[in-house]
Structures are given as structure tokens and as C-alpha cells.
Amino acid sequence: MSSTTTEPRRYDHLIDGTSVPSDADRLIRRDPSSGQLVAEYAHAGQGDVDLAVAAARRAFDDGPWPRLSGADRARLLRRFASLVDGARERLARLDSEEVGKPISIARGELQGVVAHIEYAASLAHTERGDAWTTLDTDFVAYASQVPLGVAALVVPWNFPALILAQKLPYALAAGCTTVIKPSEFTSSSAVEMVRLAHEAGIPAGAVNLVTGLGPTTGQTLTSHPDVDVVSFTGSTQTGRLVASAAGHNLKRIGLELGGKAANVVFADADLDRAADAAVYAAFINQGECCVSGARLLVQRSVADEFVAEVARRTRTLRVGSPADEATDIGPLIHGEHLERVLGYVTAGHESDATAITGGERLTDDGLDDGWFVAPTIFTGVAPTDRIFQEEIFGPVLSVVEFDDADDAVRLGNDTVYGLANALWTSDIATAHRVSARLRSGTVWVNTNVDGAPALAFGGTKDSGIGREVGHEGLREFTESKTIQIRSGNRQLPFPRRTGGTA
């Protein structure tokens, strides 16, 4: 299986509009479907991070970006969106090659990237404050949303361009300046998008990027004293470290962390649509998705028939090269992650669950050089099993049956996570009642893994803090500032005294 790339890409840091090499050893990225070297990145140390943060600090404290009108920021963001739109195919191929995601999926994500930048531009143009004119005679006040300052944006490997677009344009629309740290596995599209931002006319110091490892570069950036706000997407374990460092420095944080979404199917649902969605939700992006519908809860009266149909459709999925237009499922991100996912498959077997599809690494038909796992469905799963409780982040679906709505809600909430859930029903009353009771930042009804730039996204419990995208996502990068103006004399409680002795 050959890569679409012949010579590896070489990237340095982008700091204040300049390509800055690093003295440290370079990081390499291999195509997870073939093992071929496709990219090399600089590895930022303390000095590189200091340079990037200092550039962003100068751009915020003394530069034009925070002082531009909302209309001017919107104009430059729209130009950025147009340039990204023109580069969609190239960016999609970078993400497909480095993540291992099918090219058809990557193209769809790049449409979302453009949509987020365009929507953030509209927010920059229309954001407003509030005013109070009836507080008292000769006394008025107004509140404005002011940018927080320097924003550190830490992006994971599973949706490199899309998750960057859920952070960067909103931070810029708010007037913040930024330092981006993409994943060490999937940095190429982020570097190219920063170049496009500079080409669009966004000041160089407003968008900086350093590449490197999470425990070194990422930790240095998120704990940096001159960073005012951190937006982090990644594992819950790492999110706790980011929160601890932010608490020490008293900086604002937004954390979008792990998930273990329930996909709840009631007997009165459109079962044909629900079956398609169950396959999509479980296996999109190889299951390497924080809102993956990894727990399928099916009402007992239709469970046998429905699960059999989901399994049938799963067996039709094509596993193969991400560059192949017909591929549905690509490789996992790297070998260590493959072993982790296979460890959960073993745990499923040991808990007496039954794998009715998949359950093994695929090495046939030219797949032997990559990290491929067959889409796997377990039935006979107990709610206490590890495969039901823990985030696997791979193509593994656990099926549990339920009796009624109360039972479904209990099972759906039986997790430390609370990022997203979904339910399928034709009864609007059931839809409202169950949605209200499921503890997650998002609940989809008769759809799954869906969304729009206007809709805020984030979790509860161990799934994180704060919200991304939408108007709430913009406000994550601002704080309210109140101005009080008294134009007349105020009667003070202390009496006015004249004279006296020293």
C-alpha cells in the first residue's frame, strides 16, 4: 500500500510570521496505513515556546489586532475562509494521510472548517455589549466583551483541521492573539492553515504555531505565565494536568475531553435510519472520535432484529487505504494505540461478551503494513464491563438492552463522561423527557454526530469544562468589562468637612 507522498514534508515553527527551526531533535510522522515517512516537524523546547508566546504578547499588548473594529476582523477572517476553501483538497489529503482517515471523510471535515471560520467572522461583526440607562439620575453604565489576551490552542490528532477551526477563528474574532500547538502526529494541516491566515492579512504575531510533544511543548505552553487562556482538546488525564497548571497560574481554561456516548434506540424509532446512524456513529473516523456512539442501547423488544441489521451493515464497510475513494474505515493512528484497542477487545472476550463482527487486527489484502482493526460489535455486554465503561477510542461497539425510558436513562448516565448522547424515537414526548435527563453537553434526537457552527459544544463531568464554537465559544475568549459613568454629583455617606487641625 503506497502513500500519496513521495518526499516527506519538513516544517519548522511559525513565530511572528517567520519560519523558526528548533535545535532539538525533529519529530517524524509515518503514514499509519503504510509506515512510509511523510513529514518531519520541529520539536519546540522552552526557548521556542517563550519566543512564540512573546510574539503573541506583543501582538496583543501593542499590535493592531485587538484594536481593529469587529468589521475589520470579520473582513480578514472571511478572506482566511476563502483561502482555506481554495485549499480544501490539499488540506484534506494532509489530514487523510497523517490521521489515516478516509479521504471522503476528510473532505467533509474541511467543509466544516470553512463554515466555522465564516461563522466566527459573522460573530466578530455582530458582537455587542449591554447598557443600563435607568439606574439613577445622571448615572449610566455599559458592559463590553473584551478579549482575554494570549490564547494557547492545543489541538488533538483525530480531527486536526476541524478542531483547530473550532478554536482559532473564535479566538481571533474575539480579538485574542494565539499560539497553536497541534498534535505531534498530525501537524501539517495546522501549519498550512497558519500560513493561509498570514496570507489573508491577519497580523503575523496574532497567529503563531509551535510543534512538539505534549509532555514537553504542550505542558510548557499551557503553563506559561504570559498565556491568559488555554483551550485544550485531548484526553481527560491530560486535561486534569492542564487544569492543575491553569489553576496555579489563575488563567481561564476550556477543556474538551473524553467521552463514552450512548446511542439509545427505542422500539418506536425509524429503525432503518437508526441502524445506519448506529454504524456511522460507532465507526466514523475508525471510532477515534470523542463523541463516537460507542454504547448502543436498544429496547429489548426490537434488540435481536435491530442488532442483527447493524451487524449486517457493519460487515459491508470497506477497510483500506485512506487515499482510496471507496474506503470507509482507515488505520488507527499508531501502533501503540492499536495495541490499546486490541487490549479492550481482549477484555471484552474475557468478560464473556460476544464479538459478532470483527474482533481482530486486519493484515490481509495489503493491510499488513498498517494499523488496521476490523469494526467490532460486542453483544452480551454487562454495564460493569470495561468495554462499556471506558473510552476505547477505536472501532469497538458495545450493545446493551434496556426495558423502558427509565432504564435507558440509567444506563446512558452510567459513565464518568458527559460529552454527548443520542436517542431515536418517534414519540416527541419521549424525545423531550429523555433528552432532559441525559447528562451530557449535547443530546442528538433522531440524528447522531451532527452539528453546526452556531451550536455550542462541550461536556459535563469528566468530559470537560466550557464550550466551543457558536456564540458561547466566542465568549470563552472574552471577559465582561463594566464601565460606570456618573455625570452629576453623587450624595456620599461621609459628611463634607472643612477646616480642622493637623
Which residues are known catalytic residues?
Answer: 256, 290
Q: Which of 446, 334, 467, 445 is nearest to 394 (CA)?
A: 334
Give a three-class secondary structure readout of 228-273: CEEEEECCHHHHHHHHHHHHHHCCEEEEECCCCCEEEECCCCCHHH
- Residue 356, C-alpha cell as written in the block: 459478532
Residue reference for cell 455599559: 142
Q: Is residue 438 within 8 Å of residue 423, measured between CB atoms? A: yes
Cα separations in angstroms, 231 against 52, 134, 193, 221: 16, 38, 18, 11
Q: How many CA atoms lie within 13 A of 419 on its CB side?
A: 25
Q: Is residue 77 within 8 Å of residue 84, measured between CB atoms? A: no
* Helix ranges (DSSP H) in 26-155: 46-61, 70-86, 88-99, 103-126
Q: Is residue 92 within 8 Å of residue 106, measured between CB atoms? A: yes
Gap between the Cα atoms of 417 and 390, Å rounded:
9
To which H or E segment does residue 207 belong? strand 207-209
Gap between the Cα atoms of 311 and 304, Å rounded:
11
Gap between the Cα atoms of 252 and 112, Å rounded:
26
Gap between the Cα atoms of 419 and 440, Å rounded:
5
